[in-house]
Amino acid sequence: MNKRGLTILLSIIMVVSVVLFAVSCSKDDSKETTTNNARTETTDNSDETTTTTADDKTEEQTTTEEVTTELVITGREVMPGKEDVDFGGLTFLISSNCDSDDSWEDGKDFWVESVNNDAVNDAIWERNDVMKKLYNCDIQVDSGGKDNGYNADVASGGGKYIAASKLYGPLKSYLSGTYYNLLKLDIDFSQSYWDQNYIDSFSINGKLFNIVGDWSICTFKGAWIVFYNKNVYETKFADTDIYQLVRDKQWTWDKMEDMMETIKNDVNGDQEYTFSEGSDADILGFISTDQNAQGFYFASGERTIGVSSDKNSLIPVIPTEKGSDVLDKLIHFLNVESYLMTGYTSVQTALQNGTTLFGGEVLDVLRRMSTAEELRIGILPLPLMDENQEEYHCYVNRHAVSPLAVPTSYSNISVVSDFLTLFAYHSSMIVRPAFINTYKYTYTSDEESAEMLDIILDSRVYDVGYLDEVPSVSGFVGYISTMISNKKNQYTKYVQRMVGSLESELDELITKLNAVDDNY
């Protein structure tokens, strides 16, 4: 053998030796190997390997770092538990049953044409695109569906629409017999992407015919809240963290009134506190509209109609002793010098001009003020009546509530549970965060606003009588403002007079509701 051949042979022998050594070292980690010179112990799932050498009795300790990859859920991947869903190319058409001139048109909650660099718009587009790619389906909307033949399609059993929104009178819509009972579907309504307060308010006798979830930007924007002008606030309260008051449940009517009365300033010296756009405009503590009275009434935890303890019936909850106490407190609170009831546009103007500390309006007003330059506005939930109240309550304007219902004309009921669940889930992961971030980074100027917005959205409440315009309740809710304006509490007397007719109205509603089939 020549020298080159010998060299190659030796190299092969060395490689084989190294391989054999490596194989011998790769045996089961749980095994124990002992030699004359060393003893190595390795325990399963241990980060440490200890080697003891017999000759010099020394110990060497090495640590190996275990690498773990944590799966981050973003809502852009298949929903856990829904890996097998394939809609087979179905197109899901949702009817937005709004009037063409309705300022609360909700069609864009379900579908947008394209991305346009608006974060919420683009999130809605992305949610639909994610569902299309993951589950083999398409989502479309018929804005103004009731003007485009929705009712006729449902009546004829056409099956064109999988769902419809904007059914004014969520309870009364049950009575038509043309919607499925959602509680009979295979849907876990305990999940956070469903509006739990809505479910609690409208689940009656095992029936729920429409639902609100995290797709409903319209319902988000309709929450009645408190705005505050930060520049005005800092002139007197720079050392007080108002967000911490909210967190500590010390944000109450009394605390708000103290701030209102402290900030008021009769700039023009006419001994009155009025709204003006002039250079000598007074500084007010709180400016709002006639809807503010009912907003604060519901904020106290009061309701007009509730569900009985057995969940089988509707009952009047107006006749409570607390209700009269609430009116007494409201009559005082909404008649202090620093409070002014005015028109809708004046609330926005006063906040923009810095002539009020607080403003009461729906959340959407923040978006409407977004073009104002250098405007520093914060948002807060409606305050607690007092520190004995455990939770905040922000009622939702009737015209903003946008539940989805599934018409019986849509016969492919087997896919409905999956579609509604996936639509709500991916909305909660993609659309809701975009909405909150927009209000945090675009419409307000601090990190805490996102925290406040979460509190507001989770504090939304729905009054059955108010939303369904039950005749006796409609008169009562309107009369709240009258009693406050007249500074005369006739709460108990009024309730005693109207509760009989309210009970009759509810008995009629329940009788009709019980007669409605589940439609399966």
Percent of the chain topping pLDDT 90: 67
Query: Which among 128-132, 156-160, 163-167 has the top mean pLDDT?
Result: 128-132
Averaged over 454-466, what is the pLDDT? Answer: 94
Average pLDDT value for the chain: 85
Length of the chain: 520
Q: How confident is the model at residue 102 (pLDDT cuts 50, 70, 90)?
A: low
Which position has the higher pLDDT, 106 or 27?
106
State whether the Cα torsion 329-332-333-335 is positive or negative.
positive
Q: How confident is the model at residue 177 (pLDDT cuts 50, 70, 90)?
A: confident
Give the 3-state secondary structure of residue 494. helix
Strand ranges (E), 281-408: 284-288, 305-307, 314-316, 339-341, 356-362, 377-380, 394-395
**Encoded tokens for 38:** 């060393």
Which position has the higher pLDDT, 415 or 51?
415
331-340: pLDDT as tens digits: 999 999 999 9
Q: How confident is the model at residue 30 (pLDDT cuts 50, 70, 90)?
A: very low
**With 50 as the cut, is the pLDDT of residue 262 above it?**
yes
434-451: pLDDT as tens digits: 999 888 777 876 788 889
Q: How confident is the model at residue 5 (pLDDT cuts 50, 70, 90)?
A: very low
39-74: pLDDT as tens digits: 333 334 434 434 444 444 444 444 455 555 667 889
**With 80 as the cut, is the pLDDT of residue 35 above it?**
no
Averaged over 163-190, what is the pLDDT? Answer: 86
Q: What is the pLDDT of residue 6?
A: 37
**With 70 as the cut, is the pLDDT of residue 396 above it?**
yes
**Encoded tokens for 349:** 């103007």
Averaged over 461-490, what is the pLDDT? Answer: 93
Domains, the chain, ranges and CATH?
90-220+400-445 (3.40.190.10), 222-399+461-503 (3.40.190.10)
| HEC per residue, 450-482 | HHHHHHHHHCEECCHHHHCCCHHHHHHHHHHHH
Averaged over 117-136, what is the pLDDT? Answer: 97
**With 50 as the cut, is the pLDDT of residue 33 above it?**
no
Q: What is the DSSP string of 153-219?
A: HHHHT----SEEE--SSTTGGGGGS-B--GGGSS--TTSTTB-HHHHHHH-BTTB---B-BTT-HHH
Q: What is the pLDDT of residue 100?
A: 55
Averaged over 224-248, what is the pLDDT? Answer: 97
Secondary element (H or E) of residue 62: strand 59-63
Task: Name the pTM for this structure.
Answer: 0.83
**With 80 as the cut, is the pLDDT of residue 341 above it?**
yes
Q: What is the pLDDT of residue 99?
A: 63
**With 50 as the cut, is the pLDDT of residue 506 above it?**
yes
Instruction: Supply the DSSP symbol for 514.
Output: H
**With 80 as the cut, is the pLDDT of residue 218 above it?**
yes
Q: How confident is the model at residue 514 (pLDDT cuts 50, 70, 90)?
A: confident
| HEC per residue, 239-280 | CCCHHHHHHCCCCEHHHHHHHHHHHCECCCCCCCCCCCCCCC
